[in-house]
Amino acid sequence: MTRRVLCLFTRTPLHVGEETKSGATDRPLLREKHTGLPVIPGATLKAVFADAWSESGRADRSEEAAWLFGPAPQNEGKGGVLHFTDAVLLAFPIRSARGGFGWITSPQILQRAARDGVIALSLLPDNPPDDDKAIFARLPLGMEAGQPPNVQTRIVLEEYTFGRAGDLPSGLGQTLAGLLPGDPVWKEIANRLVIVSDATMSFFTQTACDVTRRMRVNPATGTAAPGALFSQENVPSETMFYATLTCDAENDPAKKPEHQRTGQDAARRFTHKLQTLGPVFQVGGSGSIGHGLCSVEIREPLA
């Protein structure tokens, strides 16, 4: 069995939602029940990449696509050798009173990332922040107040002020920046990363997402068509998710053992094809208005 990590960085707002209305939002985001954090189902990722492999309009997938993802839904047969976990949140963009915006993450999110081989255990913060403080670099987001020697550094995210709980773990920002090398926006993560408490992270990801009004106009009346006026919640652009990809060995009774393909073969083929088709894929709904465009990067997990 071979494992890889898929990083997904939203270039435009993204909506992967539930069918039921939640509060004032007609189309809320799909979220983890126990944390409230946005999540992208593994089934969604598998469908996105499977469709990219297959020629548009074909009833049957190519032999390679069927090997990796399984046959087309209308055909019976075993599943493919690629297995996707849900894509979970790694860093969420948040408005800052100074410096424009930063990215927030939390100890629990970083612990997950370390468990999944995205970052090293040594990069976890030694002293997690409480709900009134955050861990961040003094520049460019910090704001200083008071006179020496009683100068205090604070940060304002949305309309909330946090004290400074300490320095970022050495190397954490650089490691995260390396997940998507070459992106001119994401490379700033090293200076704009803020570690908040798990409760604060859950709060911001539930209150600071985009909520837009969508409608379809009836050309005869010039008003919204029946049932076509609704609100939709979106993950903002510049959000980083990651998922784990497991590549199994082929198990085809019709082939001799020496002709069977391994999990490493599947990982190499998937990586090569991603680089050929990518780096941008459309994920989730509202693709016709440019939503869901994501930069995708695949890498080996840390040991």
pLDDT of residue 59: 45
Q: Which residue, 288, 166, 286, is CA-closest to 234? A: 286
Neighbouring CB atoms inside 10 A of 192's CB total: 24
Q: pTM for the full model?
A: 0.91
Q: How far apart, in whole angstroms, are the C-alpha atoms of residue 9 and residue 12?
A: 9
Candidates 199, 209, 294, 200; CA nearest to 29 is 209
97-103-109-111 Cα dihedral, nearest 10 degrees: -110
d(CA 68, CA 199): 39
Rounded to whole angstroms, the Cα distance separating 193 from 203 reads 17
Q: Which stretches of the chain are assigned E, i.e. beta strand?
A: 2-10, 39-40, 82-84, 87-95, 101-105, 133-136, 143-145, 152-157, 160-166, 193-195, 210-218, 223-234, 240-247, 280-282, 293-299
pLDDT (0 to 100) of residue 56: 44
Find residue 154's DSSP bridge partners: 143, 163
| Contact (Cβ atoms closer than 8 angstroms) between residue 109 and residue 201 | yes
SS3 (DSSP) at 213: strand
Joined tokens for residue 229? 């006026």
- What is d(CA 207, CA 35) in angstroms, rounded to the nearest whole number? 14
Q: Please give the chain's pLDDT, 303 residues, in tens.
A: 899 999 999 999 999 987 666 667 888 999 999 999 999 999 999 999 998 887 544 545 678 888 899 876 555 556 799 999 999 999 999 999 999 999 999 999 999 999 999 999 999 999 999 999 999 999 999 998 876 777 789 999 999 999 999 999 999 999 999 999 989 999 999 999 999 999 999 999 999 999 888 777 777 776 767 767 788 899 999 999 999 999 998 877 777 777 789 999 999 999 999 999 988 999 998 888 899 999 999 999 997
